[in-house]
């Protein structure tokens, strides 16, 4: 479901990110942008290997939510949310999402990539502010497929996650970054396409170009053209969804990539050209 968990994009993503020791996604205090109204939801990942486990409330009210993820586990891990529509259990949604991400099966229309927090370093924290729609949810650590389920209850409370100055708009098959600044800041990740997308980004090394990144993502040959240690990554969100994430960026040029497939399957989006450059200044 993300750069490190999608088998089709896995080898390229692992090559790009394998040395990543720290995530750029980290918590910072919310102020302005309407984030005051977001209800906090704490999700913690802890343990190790087969003992890896999530702690998450069993039931959460629908509406604008600030997901605060703590990775207390010994390895990098994220908190990808998957929602199943009424009539399906969270476990059915989990199985369908895993079959899509790992086996290239179609993603049924009743399963939704519902955001959450992308890969986060051990002992790291990350947050995402987004609307939670009612339904049965799984929270998944996509590398190990460990998961827990919870329910989002009540009527839908349509909500915008905020409007920070920086944004990354995703569509088929490109990113349009705007206003990205060095340091720690909030960024709107806005999927204006029809397909699920996420964004992972890393600084392009001096002397390397976006073409070098495209080539490396396809061939994995030679030295990586990006600084893997400084990567960030969001979770996967459905077309039409958006979330505000906290990221830490360095000044310079970033490569932005997406490695999930269309709902019907097919190649990872990076192979369909979803590799864009962003200026951070």
Q: Given the rule CB under 5 A, which residues bind Cu ion?
A: 197, 258, 260, 269
Report the distance separating Cα 20 and Cα 18, nearest Å: 6
Residue 268: φ, ψ to 5°: -60, 150
Q: Which of residues 172 and 248 has its CB atom nearest to Cu ion in the complex?
A: 172
Our CB check for Cu ion shows the closer of 184 and 272 to be 272
Give the pairing of strands 146-153 and 59-61: parallel
Q: 197 or 242: whose CB is closer to Cu ion?
A: 197
Nearest approach, Cβ of 197 to Cu ion (angstroms)? 3
Full DSSP string of 246-269: EEEE-SEEEEEE--PPBTTB-S-G
In 3-state terms, what secondary structure has residue 63?
strand
Q: Tell the smallest beta-carbon distance from residue 260 to Cu ion (Å).
A: 5
Nearest to 269 by CA among 6, 24, 82: 6
In the complex, the smallest distance separating the C-beta of residue 196 from Cu ion, rounded to whole angstroms, is: 7
Q: Is the Cβ–Cβ distance between 10 and 269 less than 8 Å?
A: no
Instruction: Kindly state the smallest distance separating residue 3's Cβ from Cu ion, in Å.
Output: 11
Give whichever of 5 and 134 is closer to Cu ion, judged by the CB atom: 5
Which residue carries 């200044």 as its tokens? 281
Minimum CB distance to Cu ion smaller for 71 or for 234: 234
**In the complex, minimum distance from the CB of residue 258 to Cu ion, in angstroms, rounded to a whole number:** 3
């Amino acid at each position: 479901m993300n750069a490190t968990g999608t088998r089709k994009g896995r080898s390229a993503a692992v090559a790009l990110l394998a040395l990543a020791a720290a995530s750029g996604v980290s918590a910072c205090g919310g102020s302005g942008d309407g984030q005051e109204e977001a209800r906090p939801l704490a999700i913690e990942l802890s343990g190790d290997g087969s003992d890896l486990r999530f702690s998450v409330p069993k039931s959460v009210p629908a509406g604008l939510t600030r997901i605060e993820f703590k990775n207390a586990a010994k390895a990098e891990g994220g908190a990808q949310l998957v929602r199943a529509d009424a009539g399906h259990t969270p476990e059915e949604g989990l199985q369908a999402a895993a079959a899509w991400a790992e086996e290239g099966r179609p993603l049924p229309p009743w399963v939704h990539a519902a955001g959450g927090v992308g890969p986060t370093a051990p002992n790291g924290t990350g947050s995402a502010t987004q609307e939670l729609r009612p339904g049965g949810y799984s929270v998944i650590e996509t590398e190990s497929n460990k998961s827990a389920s919870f329910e989002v209850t009540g009527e839908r409370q349509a909500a915008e996650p905020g409007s920070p100055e920086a944004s990354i708009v995703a569509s088929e098959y490109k990113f349009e970054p705007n206003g990205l600044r060095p340091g720690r800041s909030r960024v709107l990740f806005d999927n204006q396409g029809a397909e699920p997308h996420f964004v992972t980004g890393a600084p392009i090394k001096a002397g390397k170009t976006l073409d070098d990144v495209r080539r490396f993502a396809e061939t994995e040959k030679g030295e990586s053209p990006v600084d893997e240690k400084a990567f960030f990554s969001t979770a996967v969100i459905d077309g039409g969804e958006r979330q505000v994430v906290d990221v830490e960026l360095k000044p310079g040029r970033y490569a932005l990539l997406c490695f999930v497939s269309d709902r019907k399957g097919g190649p990872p989006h990076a192979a369909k050209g979803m590799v864009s450059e962003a200026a951070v200044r």
